[in-house]
Amino acid sequence: MGLKVPRLDDVTFAQLVEEARKRIPQYAPEWTDYNLHDPGITIVELLAWLVEMQVFYLDQITEKHYGKFLKLLGEERKPTETIDEAIMRVQKNRNKPYRAVTLADFEYIAKETPGVKVARAKAVWNKDDGKVEVIVVPENGKTATEKFRKEVHWQLDEHRLLTTQIEVLCHETVRVSIQADIKINPHYSASDVRQRLDDMLEVFFDPLRGYDGFGWPFGRSVYASEVCARIFDVEGVDCVQSLILSAEGPGLIECNKEKVEIRRNALIDSGVHRIQIAGDQTSMQDRDAVI
């Protein structure tokens, strides 16, 4: 919560004159005529006018002063923008994390690395060695190069706290494939249902836009029950009669009939899926995802 900006220009001319009149008996008891024709009251009103004007100027901040304040914040007013536009721009930028303190700060600052495009970043604290590990995924979804990783590390090193140790890691990919037997509702075309399943699986297992639309969560297992539910939700599918999971890749921990367990820095990618529709002898294979 920000500090409330005080208003300095909160005294009127009439209030200043009245305050001065109240003090006359205290400092000049022989002065008894407080009417407007009295020369002393004229001087009081003149001084009140001068004080009111000075208070008004005290409450004003010129563009020059705003420019100085912006420089104190390390910002410069651009030649093409007004002072109000410059203030709004600086306020907007100040709301963005600059110093990496929380894990969310590390993720945001990693994505803002100049010169490289980071699609996803996940920061975790390694309690064993006390380091903050930041897993990064390039915009193309491929494994980050050493140069890419060093650029992100340099960016985080510039914004970390002095005692914080950081390590930038590349993500590991696990390709998940499914083999399923399904039954479709009457009056639905097998080819249409197959295409919808193809599209659903390609998106669901996509490392950048899969799962909930924001990419598969780092280290999250794939459950057979969840895949069955997704298949069942596809228009035209009546039931899933059987489903087998298979997986491969450096980030794989274990694969069994119930789930595919992956490492905490791993992401799921779509493999080759074989779906057999009851009454249809053809099987569907999706496009291999390029890693």
Task: State the pLDDT at residue 131.
Answer: 92
Rounded to two decimals, the pTM is: 0.62
What's the pLDDT score for residue 97? 78
pLDDT for 284 equals 45
Q: What is the pLDDT of residue 291?
A: 31
Which residues of the chain fall short of a pLDDT of 70? 1-3, 5-6, 8, 95, 279-291
Q: What pLDDT, on the 0 to 100 scale, is given for residue 83? A: 85
User: Rounded to an integer, what distance in angstroms lies between the CA atom of residue 216 and that of residue 4?
Assistant: 44
Using an 8 Å Cβ cutoff, are 118 and 149 in contact? no
Residue 276's identity, in one-letter code, is: Q
For 259-291, what is each residue's pLDDT tens digit?
A: 999 998 999 999 899 989 886 655 444 434 333
Q: For residue 224, what pLDDT is reported?
A: 93
Q: Find, among 73, 78, 290, 120, the residue nearest to 218 by Cα.
A: 120
Confidence (pLDDT) at 8:
67
Structure tokens at 284: 């569907």
d(CA 73, CA 76): 9
Are the CB atoms for 151 and 121 separated by under 8 Å?
no
**3-state secondary structure string across the chain:** CCCCCCCCCCCCHHHHHHHHHHHHHHHCCCCCCCCCCCHHHHHHHHHHHHHHHHHHHHCCCCHHHHHHHHHHCCCCCCCCCCHHHHHHHHHHHHCCCCCECCHHHHHHHHHCCCCCCEEEEEEEEECCCCEEEEEEEECCCCCCCHHHHHHHHHHHHHHECCCCCEEEEECEEEEEEEEEEEEECCCCCHHHHHHHHHHHHHHHCCCCCCCCCCCCCCCCCEEHHHHHHHHHHCCCEEEEEEEEEEEECCCEEEECCCEEEECCCEEEEECCCEEEECCCCCEECCCCCCC
Let me know if 243 is exposed, middle or buried by CB neighbors in 10 A (0-12, 13-18, 19+). middle
Cβ-based neighbour number of residue 18 at 10 Å? 11
Rounded to 10 deg, the angle between the 224-233 and 190-204 helix axes is 130
Q: For the chain, what is the mean pLDDT?
A: 87
User: In the prediction, which pLDDT does 285 show?
Assistant: 46
